[in-house]
Amino acid sequence: DVGLQACLARRGISAAVVPVERLDWVKVFVTGLQDEDFRAGNGTADVAFGWYLDTAQAVIEDSVRSSGSPVVLLGHSAGGWLARALMCREGRDWVEANVKGLVTLGTPHLPPPEGRKDMTQGCLTNLNAEQPSAFFSDLIFYISVA
């Protein structure tokens, strides 16, 4: 077996993956186009990415039930800021019960510079306005690798 999950398993580390297929990302645009704020560039992750947040939450909670302890979240690219969006949506008590830390790889934590296209349609801007930076750093650790 190859890949990060297999590599971790060989080292005795259990890892669960949020089951997302490439075509699943079409849901962002289908859902987003029905939302006036998203179309206007003022979207929120709950609306356009709600399907992903729900799926990730279920995987995380299943992992916590199985292991009996909070887990470390690992997100690549959009998965990193979407992990932050999930923690924002679920709140402090949920984070404390379920998350030990967040590691992000190649995640755009800041919106694009003025004049550049925001592929998140404002979702990342609004996330940073609501819960900037390492918002839960008093509860969990954060590691971000460019």
53-112 pLDDT tens trace: 999 999 999 999 999 999 999 999 999 999 999 999 999 999 999 999 999 999 999 999
Q: Which two tokens stand for residue 43?
A: 């979207």
Q: Please say if the pLDDT value at position 2 is more than 90.
A: no
Cα 13 to Cα 99: distance, rounded to the nearest angstrom: 16
pLDDT at residue 79, as a whole number: 95
pLDDT at residue 146, as a whole number: 83
Contacts of 55 (CB under 8 A, 6+ apart): 18, 19, 20
Cα 25 to Cα 37: distance, rounded to the nearest angstrom: 19
pLDDT tens, residue by residue, 29-53: 899 989 999 999 999 999 999 999 9
Q: Please say if the pLDDT value at position 1 is more than 90.
A: no
Q: Please say if the pLDDT value at position 120 is more than 90.
A: yes
Q: Taking a C-beta distance cutoff of 8 angstroms, is the pair 38, 121 a contact? A: yes
pLDDT tens, residue by residue, 125-136: 999 999 998 999
pLDDT at residue 19, as a whole number: 93
